Amino acid sequence: MPLVNLGGRMTPEQANEVIRALQAKGVTRPCPRCGNAHFTLLEGFFNQPLSNDLAAPSGTMGFSTGPTVPSIVTACARCGFLSQHALGVLGLSIPADVPAVGLAG
């Protein structure tokens, strides 16, 4: 099933697919910051923009029209530590209209 952004929210089926993919990849260790074993899957998708300019000051990129890394994010239920996981590496479909690069598994 392709994962698509439905107004910024995942369907319950998409969330279950993401959880299964994380488990299949062995993403079962506790939080690296506080040691808590409980995480929450954020109900949306994250697209981290890629830049070729390391000298650009933070916050000046604006909205990127270039390539991104489509990801999901989990949050530690105790301390809030965020962990990003690239959809392509998890073997999940990336919407065709997202210009992703560098995600070959």
pLDDT confidence band for 6 (50 / 70 / 90): very low
How much is the average pLDDT of 18-29? Answer: 94
pLDDT of 64 over the 70 cut: no
pLDDT of 104 over the 50 cut: no
pLDDT of 88 over the 70 cut: yes
Instruction: Name residue 85's beta-bridge partners.
Output: 72
pLDDT confidence band for 60 (50 / 70 / 90): low
8 A C-beta contact, residue 105 and residue 12: no
- Domain spans of the chain, in order of start: 12-86
The residue type found at 37 is A
Instruction: Name residue 68's beta-bridge partners.
Output: 49, 100
